[in-house]
Amino acid sequence: MNLDSRQRVHLEWMFENQPELVKQLHQSKQLRPHLEGKHQEALRLVHRLKDSGMTEEEAFQVAQETVLAPPDGAALLDNPPSPLPLRDQQAIYRNLET
């Protein structure tokens, strides 16, 4: 399964903001369902925002900032988590795209 670009956005955000959760979800084989769930949540938000008058581009921007990659993640705290090492990130990508 190839990851959608929005799933990739969320995964990249998770690598920096929730590295332990990424490891746990990956080990329990729940990472793919988690990413799909976030993608679906973002799409539902986009549809609601478009119905209320936003353009698709505006709606996707809000969905990204609200659901997929919130700007107030743990990576911006005074004591941020250590991002998932690049080697681990690459292994996770390989696993998700097989």
pLDDT in tens, 48-91: 999 999 999 999 999 999 999 999 888 888 889 998 999 999 99
Burial of 88 (0-12, 13-18, 19+ CB in 10 A): middle
Q: How far apart are CA 8 and CA 68, in angstroms?
A: 9
And the tokens for 82? 């250590």
And the tokens for 29? 């084989």
pLDDT tens-place string over residues 16-58: 999 999 999 999 999 999 999 999 999 999 999 999 999 999 9
